[in-house]
Structure formats: C-alpha cells, structure tokens
C-alpha cells in the first residue's frame, strides 16, 4: 500500500513538473513566435529593403590609362585591346571538371590552371569573375565561341594591355605598370574609394605605375573609376547593370623626352653599360634619359616568366639599375671647368696665370706625388691649355690652394650632391664629400691630399650622369638654370648662380676652351670633330677605378674588364648658342674622348639635325 502511495505521489510530482517545463517552453515559444511575427510582418518593409540593398551591388569600373607621348607628339605608350577567357566561378560547381571540359578543345597552361584553382573559392564566394587565359588567339576565340552555348559560366571578353611601343628604349625613363602588391592594393581601394567588385578594363586587372613616369604621374594617368549598379537574382545571375557614373579615361602625359635621341643613344650604346642624359637648355627639360642595358617593359607589365625575370634580376649587367639617376661615378676630368670657375671666382687664378707642368704635382706637406695622365707633363700651362689638354698638374695645384668648404659650396651650387630632377623616379642625390662626412664614414680627418684629388674629380667626389648633365647645362647657359623635369611645359622658376668676380668674359673664355677640347688640334676629343657639322663644347673625363702607382700595375688592371676606367664626357652645342647639354658615362669604357664622345655626338646629332 505504501508503495502504491509512493508511486502515486511520484506520478503527481512528475506531472506537475513536466507541465511546469512545458509551460515554460510554451511561454518562450510565444515570445519567439512574436519575434518572428515582428521580423516578418511588422518590420517586413524594412528588412525587404535591406535584402534588396544586399543584392544590388555597386561595382567600380576601371578606367583606361592615359597615353604617353614624346615631345614631338610621337606615341610612346598606349593601350591595345586583347581577348581574354573570363570565367564566372559562382556558376561553376566543380572547377576541375570545368577545366577538363575546356581543355578538350583549348590549350590552357598549367600555370594558368593553378592560378585559377587557387583563386576559385574566394571568387565563387564573392561572385567575382576570374580570368582564366589572357590574350587568347583568334583561333582559340573562335573555338570557344562555337561552343559557348555549353559554357554559361565563361565568356570571351575584350580587355586591354598596356603597350610600350619602344620597350627596350624607355625602360628606365617611362618605367612600367604592374599589379599592386597587398599594401598598395589597400591604399588604392581607400584612395579611390573602390567597391569590393570591379569591372576590369585591363587584362592584368588593377594596374599601377611601378617605376619611372608611370609611377611619378600615376594620378594623372589613372583617370577616375566609374560606378555601375548591378542587380542579381537569387542564383547570382545579373538581371540588370546600370551605369551610375562612367569611368573617366586617364589624362595623357606629354613628356619632354625625344624619341629619336633615345633611339640614337640605344644604338650608340649597343648594350654597353652606362647612361646618357640630355637637357634642353631652353627650359631645363630632359630630352634624353637613357640607361644601358635596358629591359623589356612589355613583358614586365603584361606577364613575364619567373625564369626570365630571375635572369634579368640576377644578371651581372644589372639591367634594372637606372644608371642615369643612380649610378655613382667619379666625375674625373669633367669636373675641371667647375674647379676653374672656382679658382677665378676666388681670385686664385686668372686666364693668364700659368704653371710649369712637369708631369706630376708634389704635395708640399709629405712629398707625395700626384701624377698627370701624360708622362713628362704639358710644360708651360695656362688655364685654357689646362682645360683643352686636361692637365692634371694644373688642377692639383689649384685645388691644393683651395679651401675645401668653399669649394664644396661652389660644387653644390652647380648641382653636385643635390637632386637634379623634380619628377624623376628614385633619383640618388649622392653627396659632396665634406670633411665631417669623411670623419663619420672613414674615421679619418680631411687631408690636404683629399682636396688635391678632388681637383681632378677623383677621390671621394662622385656624381650621377643626371648631375653631370645639369652641370653641363648650367655652364652652357652661363649660370642660369631651372630644375630638370620630364613632363612637358612644366612651369618652373629660373634660378641663377651668383658670382662676384666670374664675369661674362670668363664665361666666354670657358666656353672657348671647352670648344677647343674638340675643335682644337691638341684637344682631348679632337677625333670627334668630323662626326658633326656644328661646333660643340665639351670636357672629357676618365674615371680611374683602381689607381696604379706605376704604369705596369696600371696595364695589369686593364686586363680585367670590370676594373677598367669609366669613360665620361659632358658637352653642349651648337656653339655659340647652345641648345642642348649632354652627359655620357660608359662604364669600363676607358677613354672619355674616344668612347663616351661618340655617344654624346650621336645624341646631339639626333637632337640638332632634325
């Protein structure tokens, strides 16, 4: 009996408690149902709009990049149409199967397949298009089009390629475009306020200037992205795409670069290492900015095999290195006119002052010998002769009597150790060797001998070809100059160097002496005379990389190509009213007059004899 009672009690308790729980859930159920009712009925319109907004997406439309012209209106860079095979991963269930189906009639590179498969999932989630094969041939295009009914998830679309018409000639000055890296990508999205999805106009999708003018004038060239409003249905198919704003084609870039002079430079260099820079004296604009050897910009912009890229990157010739802006060369004898200007300005010499050059200069402090390039020397030597025949002894003596700080100030005013160009890509401004720099760098004080070496452009003094060109330009224009630039018709203020003593007459004589370097019978570059039919002023230089104490040792070092001297020349013409100034460096070219000279003359010829 007790057990039955117990069972009964237990059953009542159980029932009560079960009812309690069910009622609790019942109340909860009412709350939930009320929430669902709220969402679906009371706030229906609000959520309906939100869902509509979700499926209408803003899409950015990529603009075409501006065209780049040379100073005569010749097209240097443009965009050419090409056809790409573009896929819609959202509608592809099995990417492997899809590739297999395509491969049955189209040849698709393994590399392309790999890229496609690696990006497939992300593109599918975001309903983004994915390019499978770039620049397909007309035959492949036809093969695909006859089967296009089988492929709702792919199409052949017109896209553009950035096309460099002279890919081997303007590699360094114009540079090239490429795909942005992740950091650059974030920046672009932010700066141009792009949407997640973009309709690409270029086969390489987003492209930005990586180097050269393409980089410097990125903002001008890019143009403005447009906007489309795309409506999709539940299966991700585009129902409608409305243009809300058209993309704006990038502005064209008119440069001061001259096509013919670059072709001349390219031909004259014939892949030797070096650089040439030529400047239009009228306004300081750069007409030639050429570094050799070059590299193929089209391949870099539109796809290069890793193997080929590595080959370029690791090449001994360092083709990517822009020697015109970054190559550091001792100016050697080409510095002599600058030292002469300093001597006259400071009253240390005049055109009548002469020394007896016996082939070497002896430093009074320790008797150290500084040799001239000519054994036995030049004999009685005044400034005019010292420049035309490039006497070292004369300038050793002058430099010896100079104050290093004053001399540095003078060299800086001529553009050494400073940025020459306002719109060049990654220019190296180098430096003028101050005594304090030597203390920091070499932990040695400044010796008088260091100044003596600077008198002939050796020792610690280094400069870039563009600095040498600017220096030639300043001299040609008698101290007046503007900053150098690559964009045509850039408004720049004219500057001039202040002189107290150095007069117009001195300018005339300096030009005269430099004219004689080529036109005089004893000039160091007299062999250039026949290569042109106008008058050119110049100064040659031979930068020693290894200084030998005696002739035998010097001949030995010449056997190794890379230790041979660099050949330099600065020149301007036609005289007496020069229009162009030019500097040339040929690495390991040995003799300035006979190796760098012809390059300078070909470039000047192409500029002057048009």
Partner 1 sequence: MRYLDFKKFSIYYDPYLIISITLLSIIGLFFLYSASDGNAAVLIKQSIFVFFGLILMIVLSQPDPQIYYSYSGFFLLISIILVFVAIFFGPEINGANRWISFGFVTLQPSELCKIFLPIFIASYLYGVKLPINLKNTFLTIFLILVVFLIVSSQPDLGTAIVILLSGLYVLFLAGLSWTFIGSALAIFVISLPFLWNNFLEPFQRQRIATLFNPDLDPFGSAWNITQSKIAIGSGGIFGKGFGEGTQSHLNFLPETETDFIFAVIAEEFGLIGLTILIGLYFFIFIRCFYLSINARDRFCRLVIGGLSLVFISTLFINIGMVIGLLPVVGMPLPLISQGGSSLISFYIAFGIIISMASHKKLVPR
Residues with a catalytic annotation lie at: 333
Q: Work out whether strand 369-371 and strand 360-362 pair parallel, antiparallel, or are unpaired.
A: antiparallel
Q: What is the largest CA-CA distance in the chain?
A: 146
Among 9, 121, 196, 242, binds partner 1 (CB under 8 A): 9
By CB under 8 A, residue 496 contacts partner 1 = no
By CB under 8 A, residue 32 contacts partner 1 = yes
Residues 6+ apart with CB under 8 A from 598: 268, 528, 531
By CB under 8 A, residue 54 contacts partner 1 = yes
Site string for partner 1, 178-217 (x = CB under 8 A): ----------------------------------------
Segment interacting with partner 1, rule: CB under 8 A, options 60-68, 227-235, 258-266, 323-331: 227-235
- Three-class secondary structure of residue 288 per DSSP: strand
Among 47, 105, 309, 534, binds partner 1 (CB under 8 A): 47
CA-CA distance, 263 to 408, in Å (whole number)?
37
By CB under 8 A, residue 8 contacts partner 1 = no
Nearer to partner 1, 236 or 376 (CB): 236
Among 108, 112, 113, 127, binds partner 1 (CB under 8 A): 127
Cβ neighbourhood burial of 435 (10 Å; 0-12, 13-18, 19+): middle
Segment interacting with partner 1, rule: CB under 8 A, options 46-54, 332-340, 374-382, 515-523: 46-54
By CB under 8 A, residue 234 contacts partner 1 = yes
Nearer to partner 1, 33 or 444 (CB): 33
Segment interacting with partner 1, rule: CB under 8 A, options 6-14, 135-143, 183-191, 511-519: 6-14
By CB under 8 A, residue 105 contacts partner 1 = no
CA-CA distance, 79 to 97, in Å (whole number)?
35
CA-CA distance, 44 to 48, in Å (whole number)?
6
By CB under 8 A, residue 43 contacts partner 1 = yes
Q: How far is the CB of 196 from partner 1 (least distance, A)?
A: 12
Cβ atoms < 10 Å from Cβ of 71: 18
- In DSSP notation, 434-489 reads -HHHHHHHHS-PPPHHHHHHHTTT-TT--B-HHHHHHHHHHHHTTTEE--BBSBTT
By CB under 8 A, residue 35 contacts partner 1 = yes
Show the CA angle centred on residue 73, arms to residues 484 and 531, nearest 5°.
70
- In DSSP notation, 193-238 reads T--SEEE-SBTTSS-EE-SHHHHHTHHHHH-B-EEEEEEE-TTS-E
Q: How far is the CB of 96 from partner 1 (least distance, A)?
A: 15
- Three-class secondary structure of residue 312 per DSSP: helix
| Residue owning tokens 């260099």 | 269
CA atoms within 13 A on the CB side of 225: 24
By CB under 8 A, residue 48 contacts partner 1 = yes
Segment interacting with partner 1, rule: CB under 8 A, options 76-84, 234-242, 354-362, 422-430: 234-242
Among 111, 158, 186, 233, binds partner 1 (CB under 8 A): 233
| Residue owning tokens 């060369």 | 329
Give contact residues for partner 1 (rule: CB under 8 A): 6-7, 9-11, 13-15, 17-18, 21-22, 25, 28-29, 31-33, 35-37, 39-41, 43-44, 46-48, 50-52, 54-55, 93, 125-127, 232-236
């Amino acid at each position: 009996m007790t057990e039955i009672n117990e069972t009964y009690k237990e059953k009542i308790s159980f029932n009560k408690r079960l009812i309690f729980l069910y009622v609790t859930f019942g109340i909860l159920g009412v709350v939930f149902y009320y929430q669902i009712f709220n969402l679906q009925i009371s706030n229906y319109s609000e959520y309906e709009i939100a869902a509509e907004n979700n499926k209408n997406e803003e899409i950015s439309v990529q603009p075409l990049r501006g065209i780049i012209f040379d100073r005569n209106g010749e097209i240097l860079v443009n965009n050419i149409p090409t056809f790409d095979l573009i896929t819609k991963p959202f509608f592809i269930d099995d990417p492997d199967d899809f590739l297999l189906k395509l491969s049955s009639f189209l040849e698709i590179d393994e590399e392309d397949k790999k890229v496609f498969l690696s990006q497939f999932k992300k593109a599918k989630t975001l309903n983004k298009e994915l390019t499978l094969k770039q620049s397909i041939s007309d035959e492949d295009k036809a093969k695909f089009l006859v089967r296009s009914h089988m492929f709702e998830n792919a199409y052949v679309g017109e896209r553009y390629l950035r096309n460099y018409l002279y890919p081997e000639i303007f590699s360094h000055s114009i540079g090239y475009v490429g795909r942005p890296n992740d950091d650059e990508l974030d920046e672009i999205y932010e700066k141009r306020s792009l949407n997640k999805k973009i309709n690409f106009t270029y086969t390489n999708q987003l492209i930005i200037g990586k180097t050269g003018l393409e980089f410097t004038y990125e903002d001008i060239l890019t143009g403005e992205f447009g906007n489309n409003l795309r409506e999709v249905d539940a299966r991700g198919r585009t129902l409608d795409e409305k243009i809300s704003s058209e993309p704006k084609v990038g502005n064209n870039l008119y440069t001061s670069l001259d096509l013919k002079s670059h072709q001349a430079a390219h031909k004259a260099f014939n892949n030797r290492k070096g650089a040439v820079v030529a400047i239009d004296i009228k306004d300081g604009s750069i007409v030639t900015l050429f570094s050799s050897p070059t590299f193929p910009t089209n391949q870099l912009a539109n796809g290069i095999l890793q193997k080929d890229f590595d080959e370029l990157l690791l090449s001994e010739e360092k083709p990517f290195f822009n020697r015109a802006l970054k190559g550091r060369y001792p100016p050697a004898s080409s510095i002599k006119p600058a030292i002469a200007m300093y001597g006259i300005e400071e009253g240390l010499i005049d055109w009548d002052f002469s020394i007896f050059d016996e082939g070497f200069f002896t430093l009074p402090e320790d008797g150290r010998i500084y040799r001239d390039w000519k054994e036995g020397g030049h004999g009685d030597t005044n400034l005019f002769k010292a420049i035309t025949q490039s006497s070292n002894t004369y300038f050793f003596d002058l430099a010896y009597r100079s104050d290093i700080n004053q001399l540095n100030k003078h060299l800086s005013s001529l553009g050494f150790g400073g940025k020459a160009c306002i719109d060049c890509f990654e220019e190296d401004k180098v430096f003028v060797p101050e005594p304090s720099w030597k203390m920091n760098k070499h932990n040695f004080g400044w010796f008088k001998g260091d100044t003596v070496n600077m008198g002939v452009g050796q020792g610690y003094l280094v400069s870039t070809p563009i600095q040498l060109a600017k220096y030639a330009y300043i001299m040609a224009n008698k101290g007046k100059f503007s900053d150098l630039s690559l964009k045509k018709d850039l408004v720049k203020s004219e500057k001039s160097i202040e002189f107290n003593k150095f007069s117009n007459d001195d300018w005339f004589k300096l030009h005269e002496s430099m004219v004689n370097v080529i036109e005089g019978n004893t000039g160091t570059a007299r062999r250039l005379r026949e290569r042109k039919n106008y008058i050119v002023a110049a100064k040659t230089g031979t930068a020693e990389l290894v200084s030998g104490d005696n002739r035998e040792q010097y001949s030995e070092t010449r056997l190794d190509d890379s230790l041979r001297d660099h050949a330099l020349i600065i020149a301007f013409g036609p005289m007496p009213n020069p229009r162009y100034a030019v500097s040339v460096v040929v690495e390991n070219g040995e003799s300035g007059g006979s190796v760098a000279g012809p390059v300078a003359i070909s470039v000047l010829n192409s500029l002057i004899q048009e």
